[in-house]
Amino acid sequence: MSYYKAPPKPLLWRLRSQERRFILLIGDFTMSTVALVTALWVWAQTDQWLSFSFQFLIERTPTWFYILPFVWIFLLSEIYDIRRASRRRDTVQGVGFAAAVSIGLYLILFFVSEPNALPRRGVAVFILVSSALTLLWRLFYIKIFTAPLFMRRVLIIGAGRAGSAFVKVIREMWPLPFFITGLIDDDPDKIGCEIFGYPVLGGSTQLLQIIQQSNISDLIFAISGEMKPEMLSVLLEATEQGIEVNTMPVVYEDLLGRVPILYLHSDWILRSFTDHAQVSGVYEFVKRLIDLLGGLIGCIFTILTFPLISLMIYFDSGGPVLYKQKRLGKNGEKHIIYKYRTMIKDAEKDGKAIPAVENDQRVTRVGRILRKSHLDEFPQFINVLRGEMSMVGPRAERLELVEELQTKVPFYRARLLVKPGMTGWAQVNFGYASTVEDTTIKLEYDLYYIKHRNILLDFSIIIRTVGAVIGFKGQ
């Protein structure tokens, strides 16, 4: 069989997700560095002995001041998600949150340090200038880098269940991460049809010609069943021509931060997931140190606020103030957790486990406040100190619900491969799961975290959780 061949075309302006993140990082670092220099210059103008000079930088500026750009970039971690970075509203909120946390951290340091120990003017100028410059740069990025010139042109290989579901997911995203030209499938009954508005352009025999005619940059392989040898051959030839080929699960994870569990083979856990879920001993050690530090700070805060919260609960709905519940931890081990009571007494009169839902009518008036601020979870810091939970991980779930859900949701028990967490990737990206469909989405987030977990991701989740507490975004 003879295929039409064409020389590879350079695709310098068609940016991948990783390339977009790198551009964002370089831009943010440049803006924060300019803000640092500006802050040092303004600070030097008020110095009665030294002006803005090398001597001033050595003698007057503390070492930690030069770390401010890195702290600023870390606080922007939430808007390195390509979808959020492409939306003006999320960008403004992300920069605003970074500025608010920066001010909060500085005020804490200001009140616990010795008088005149901190350069107030320098820090204030840095926060103001970095916020303004970063916002301007991010809006420029949205205006320029989401233009069609920089979008990759994609063909979906497979118009079956997996391919159709993937097209539906992409179609509902805004802004679009790439431009879908159409789909390819060897089933003659599908050729000429439309899948959610996108045409099935042809089969494997026409693939290389369609790539040339439509100036395709990427192929996304979304065939969940058996693939014909002809399709494999033409995909290999496409890669030789410089076309990038990715699988649907990989792109799905990259775009959504979730694992597409409904479109994976039943042996995926053994063939792929368990290998990816392995982490280094260094990560486990550092994570435990973070848990001990976070658990200690959390317990101190819980002790300090316990009298006030207890009185609020008691005068609103009587006792008890705390309630305990048996939950499953790592490898299915059972442990008891404590929480502030936020529901009416006997919320489960028949003893049957009833998952909490959004706007749950069983929640008391004070309970709504505690849930919005996540203060109801704070007694669980004792579980973190004891090693039964971590600061970050999947939500600790009840035995009855696990036994029920593992019969309805694929791979559900895989979330027990790691310790449950006070907060987690699913918690910061999704609300309460009141249906099996919602539970499936939350599990997709949980499995993504288990597969990709690292210290940077953990810190990002903690920062977003702090934002949810400050912004009363709990439920």
Is the distance from CB of 409 to CB of 435 less than 8 angstroms?
no
Dist. CA 360–CA 367, nearest whole Å: 11
The CATH number of the domain holding residue 208 is: 3.40.50.720
Which secondary structure element, helix H or strand E, spans residue 427, and what is its range?
helix 425-429
Strand ranges inside 226-381, DSSP E: 244-247, 322-328, 334-340
Domain count within the chain:
3
Q: Do both 248 and 103 map to the same domain?
A: no
Q: Do both 446 and 325 map to the same domain?
A: yes
Q: Do both 370 and 404 map to the same domain?
A: yes
Residue 81 lies in a domain: yes
Q: Do both 299 and 416 map to the same domain?
A: yes
Q: What is the pTM of this model?
A: 0.83
Strand ranges inside 166-285, DSSP E: 179-184, 194-195, 198-202, 218-221, 244-247
* Residue 432, both tokens: 């309460």
Is the distance from CB of 433 to CB of 441 less than 8 angstroms?
yes
Position 43, amino acid:
W
Crossing angle for the helix pair 248-256 and 436-452, to the nearest 10 degrees: 90
Q: Do both 140 and 199 map to the same domain?
A: no
395, 401, 406, 410: CA torsion to nearest 10: -50
Q: Do both 235 and 321 map to the same domain?
A: no
Is the distance from CB of 449 to CB of 414 less than 8 angstroms?
no
Q: Do both 196 and 112 map to the same domain?
A: no
Residue 190 lies in a domain: yes
Q: Do both 121 and 190 map to the same domain?
A: no
Is the distance from CB of 182 to CB of 158 less than 8 angstroms?
no
Position 102, amino acid:
S
Q: Do both 215 and 293 map to the same domain?
A: no
> 353: helix, coil or strand?
coil
Dist. CA 453–CA 276, nearest whole Å: 10
Q: Which domain holds residue 44?
A: 17-145
Q: Do both 413 and 295 map to the same domain?
A: yes
Q: Do both 96 and 237 map to the same domain?
A: no
Residue 267 lies in a domain: no
Dist. CA 340–CA 358, nearest whole Å: 18
Q: Do both 104 and 185 map to the same domain?
A: no
Q: Which residues of 346-384 are buried (b: 16+ CB within 10 A; e: fewer)?
A: ebeeeeeeebebeebeebbebbbbbbbbbbbbbbbbbbb
The pLDDT profile of the chain, 475 residues, written as one tens digit per residue, is 333 344 444 444 667 778 888 999 999 999 999 999 999 888 887 755 556 666 777 777 788 888 999 999 988 988 988 888 989 999 999 999 899 888 888 887 777 766 666 677 888 899 999 999 999 999 999 998 888 778 889 999 999 999 999 999 999 888 888 899 999 999 999 999 999 999 999 999 999 999 999 989 999 999 877 788 888 899 999 998 889 899 999 999 988 999 999 888 877 777 778 777 888 889 999 999 999 999 999 999 999 999 999 999 998 888 889 988 899 999 999 999 999 998 887 666 665 666 666 666 788 888 888 888 888 999 999 999 999 999 999 999 988 889 899 999 999 999 999 999 999 999 989 877 878 899 999 999 999 999 999 998 998 899 888 877 766 555 5
